[in-house]
Amino acid sequence: MSRILVIGLTGQLRESLLPGLLEMGGPVLALSRHEQQPQPGVEWMLGSLQSMPAIPADVGAVLSLGPLDAFAAWFDSSDAPGSRVIALGSTGQADKLGSVDPAERELAQRLRAAESRLFAAGERRGIPVTVLRPTLLYGSGRDLSLSRLVELGRRWGLLLLPSSATGLRQPVHVEDVAGAILACLQAGQTSGRAYDLPGGEVIAFDAMVRRTLARHAPGCRLLSVPTGLFSAGLRVASALRRAPINRGLLARLQRDQLADPGAARDAFGYRPRRFEP
């Protein structure tokens, strides 16, 4: 059986995805910048997308779990073997496109350009490409959003949110994203498509944070303050380089960021769980 090359396996999907890959029966070849502990069924290659070692000819599927733009650039310029590519993108390619923060707008444009480049390279090379776009990831304790708020809540015992932080979200568990990758590997009709992967519950941002704190920082109080006052405090914290959020996120807290799971459900049976922090 051909091997599966995984780029980004050291990230937050590792514990959820790797057992399923090993159960599929194919040996796993994983790329890492640093030495990793030996693990049955996994062969680690030392390197990066910028300094890729030689890839064995028996590699079939290639999974990219890291930054989409870097992977698209490598894949476009590479002649490495592969019969299937599944890469993680982000719903941020739409959610951040109209952000007030130039850095967020640039990120959204970069994600969109990376998707286009990856699909074009797949078509040119005759390799089926699928992009999966998770929403806000949680469940590993290594995300940069909810886990960071939990850390601050534990440290301070108090978190402030602007009163406008009621925009709707669909946080998705890492195990559901891992399950989507595994299902997609076995589905043949996803080539040339991108699929949004939202979570199974629509919840307001402040309610999402409150539920998370109740589970992981039960002694922390969550207070809602007028948005203008919160914004003024954010400007001061930004000047001191101690702001936990940026202007772009502050503006998006009051906007709904929703995605439709219908296409993924129809293509490979995607059915995510409700929000369970």
**Domain assignment of residue 51, yes or no:** yes
Q: Do 86 and 161 belong together in one domain?
A: no
Both 22 and 120 in one domain: the answer is: yes
Same domain? For 98 and 120 the reply is yes
- Angstrom CA distances, 152 to 127, 148, 183, 202, 218, stand at 44, 6, 36, 24, 12
Torsion of CA 92, 93, 95, 96, to 10 degrees: 90
- Establish if 26 belongs to a structural domain: yes
- Given a contact cutoff of 8 angstroms between Cβ atoms, the answer to whether 30 and 44 are in contact is yes
The CATH number for 135's domain is 3.40.50.720
Q: Of 227, 13, 46, 20, which Cα lies nearest the Cα of 138?
A: 13
**Tally of helices (H runs) and strands (E runs) in the chain:** 10, 13
Q: CA 104 to CA 92: how far, in whole Å?
A: 9
* Residues 210 and 120 occupy one common structural domain: no
112 plus 24 within the same structural domain: yes
Q: Name the domain count of the chain.
A: 2
Q: Is residue 34 part of a domain?
A: yes
Digits of tens for pLDDT over the chain (277 positions)? 589 999 999 999 999 999 999 998 778 999 999 999 888 899 999 999 999 999 999 999 999 999 999 999 999 999 988 899 999 999 999 999 988 888 899 999 999 999 999 999 999 999 999 999 999 999 999 998 899 999 989 999 999 999 999 999 999 999 999 999 999 999 878 999 999 999 999 999 999 999 999 999 999 999 999 988 888 767 665 544 555 566 677 888 999 999 999 999 999 999 999 999 9
